[in-house]
Chain A
Amino acid sequence: LAKTTQPISMDSYEGQEVNITCSHNNIATNDYITWYQQFPSQGPRFIIQGYKTKVTNEVASLFIPADRKSSTLSLPRVSLSDTAVYYCLVGTPEAPGSARQLTFGSGTQLTVLP
């Protein structure tokens, strides 16, 4: 499993764009990159997933350079409610009849200030 490294914490102000970068130097050819968000006392929630280049949904964008050794989660115009822990995961889709070990690191605590 590819190990990931991300900043422990980040602060931002309301209305700003926030970029959280994850390093995954040992990413394998079949690995996808997935980001989760976790609020206090809740289970993690899927935000976005990508394999290469750029992926955008209604919540965030994910930028993946050509070498795929890092990725950046971009949250546009954050609000106080975006204060949460953000986890970056790297792994492969499941083969039929098998499961993968989904391994979460310590994540990045994002604090949005008024």
Chain B
Amino acid sequence: NAGVTQTPKFQVLKTGQSMTLQCAQDMNHNSMYWYRQDPGMGLRLIYYSASEGTTDKGEVPNGYNVSRLNKREFSLRLESAAPSQTSVYFCASSEARTGTEAFFGQGTRLTVV
């Protein structure tokens, strides 16, 4: 079982460049999430999605866009990267009606120079 797969694992961007972080889950989960984690900090929710075609803002959505392409895939786009977006990004998925158990990917380490 792959679980939650994120690509790429590492990325270096120049300020102003754009990129899309990909996330896919094979557990048939309804809900998917994007978080960022800065050094020594907890996770902060960027966006989340309850189902295909629906997305909602989390705690820190500014500077990001998301697409829930289908039930499996949830992508995060940085249109114009800034050094403040240097962070580790985690994607997660969960299933409705099972409490608050979620499954996380291994993360994408993004550096914006």
Contacts and interface: CB of A to CB of B under 8 A. Distances in A.
A104 B42 contact: yes
B58 A101 contact: yes
Interface string B45-57: 1001111000010
Interface stretch (A17-25, A73-81, A89-97): A89-97
Contacts of B44: 104
A36 to B, nearest CB: 8
A97 B51 contact: yes
Given A87-B42, A102-B33, A107-B42, A96 B100 contact: no
B98 interface: yes
A94 B41 CA distance: 26
B96 A93 contact: yes
A93 B92 contact: no
Nearest to B43: A104
Interface string A35-59: 0000001111110010100000000
A41 B107 contact: yes
Given A44-B43, A94-B30, A100 B105 contact: no
Contacts of B75: none
B99 A98 contact: no
Nearest to A34: B100
Interface of A: 32, 34, 41-46, 49, 51, 87, 89-107
Given A99-B49, A101-B48, 18 more contacts: A41-B88, A44-B43, A49-B100, A87-B43, A92-B100, A93-B97, A94-B30, A94-B50, A94-B97, A95-B96, A97-B30, A97-B96, A98-B50, A99-B32, A99-B48, A101-B56, A102-B48, A104-B45
